[in-house]
Amino acid sequence: MLVRVKLYRNHESLFKEFDLVLEPSHTVLDLLYTLKEKYDPTLSFRSMCRAGICGTCGVKVNAKPVLACKTKIAELEEPITIEPLDNLPLIKDLVVDHSVLIERLKRLKVWYEPIGNNLQVFRTNPLVDKSFECIACGLCDASCPVFLTNQEFGGPMSFLRIYKLTQDLRNSRREDSLLRVKDGHVQLCTHCKNCSIICPLGLMPESIIKFEEVDLTKRGLISQNLPNSFDFF
Ligand code: FES
């Protein structure tokens, strides 16, 4: 099939148009490799696993953050417009700086500090399970409107991943993890649900944020927050 593509090239700060012959089963990542191999070897994008696991191939396709390797071209409207993710510093073409995501995880200390005997079996519930499944692709943070005005916000990715630390009895600092959620200004969340809509694993970070807000409210650490309406998509 013949596919029309509009691709962002940052060294010229413009979109370049291409017509490519591709198979309907091809993904956006296949499309990018075809462009690089046949037309422009200077094109830069990021990928590793090609299987929706490593979380590195995030791009904006037709204005929506997606994993390039999990997005079939046959399901997209033409022209297929491909741009770098929002809310992350641009390095080149479609490559953005993921260290911003890592810094957010560091700031909220999203890691275990196990209790002495941490070999006990932890009974999870579906929501905690979701917190374990995050692949740190950052699409949720890239879709979050709060970052347009506030870089101190912890972001849906960190809030999702820290949830398991607030629940897991094997973590020695569960209370501290919850306080970190407060320090990450969780109340700035507008509950627009962008993060839940675009998460490629369906992990619903916005729902997790609500649970964290309830936990903090019960402890008197934050006051009741009324969600704003801030629809993005
Ligand atoms: Fe690993 Fe797409 S290349 S998630």
Sign (positive or negative) of CA dihedral 213, 216, 220, 221 = negative
**Domain 2-96: top CATH class:** alpha beta
Question: Which ligand 1 atom sits closest to the C-alpha of 50?
Answer: 3
The answer for 126, left when phi > 0, alpha when psi is -120 to 50, beta otherwise, is: alpha
pLDDT tens, per residue, the chain with 233 residues:
999 999 998 877 789 999 999 999 999 999 999 999 999 999 999 999 999 999 999 999 999 999 999 999 999 999 999 999 999 999 999 999 999 999 999 999 999 888 877 677 777 788 788 888 999 999 999 999 999 999 999 999 999 999 999 998 889 999 999 999 999 999 999 999 999 999 999 999 999 999 999 999 999 988 865 454 444 44
Strand 80-83 to 2-9 pairing:
parallel
Q: At what angle do helices 174-183 and 205-218 cross, to 10 degrees?
A: 110
Question: Which ligand 1 atom sits closest to the C-alpha of 135?
Answer: 4
Question: Which ligand 1 atom sits closest to the C-alpha of 70?
Answer: 2
**Domain limits of the chain?**
2-96, 99-218
Q: Helix or strand or coil: residue 176?
A: helix
- CB-based contact 108:180 (threshold 8 Å): yes
Q: Is the CB of 27 under 6 A from ligand 1?
A: no
Q: Is the CB of 54 under 6 A from ligand 1?
A: yes
Q: Is the CB of 50 under 6 A from ligand 1?
A: yes
Partner residues linked to 171 by β-bridges:
114
Q: Is the CB of 49 under 6 A from ligand 1?
A: yes
The residue contributing the CA closest to ligand 1 atom 4 is 52
pLDDT of amino acid 232: 45
Question: Which ligand 1 atom sits closest to the C-alpha of 137?
Answer: 4
C-alpha 148 to ligand 1 mean position (Å): 26
Q: What is the DSSP letter of 37?
A: I
3-state helix, strand, coil in the chain (%, to 5): 35, 15, 45
pLDDT of amino acid 231: 46
pLDDT of amino acid 178: 95
Q: What is the DSSP letter of 39?
A: I
* Geometric angle at alpha carbon 68, from 30 and 184, rounded to 5°: 160
CATH entry 3.40.225.10 includes domain 99-218: no
Counting ligand 1 atoms within 8 A of each CB, the residue from 33, 48, 66 with the most, and so the one to mutate, is 48
Q: Helix or strand or coil: residue 67?
A: strand
C-alpha–C-alpha distance, residues 124 and 187, integer Å: 26
pTM over 0.75: yes
- CB-based contact 159:123 (threshold 8 Å): no
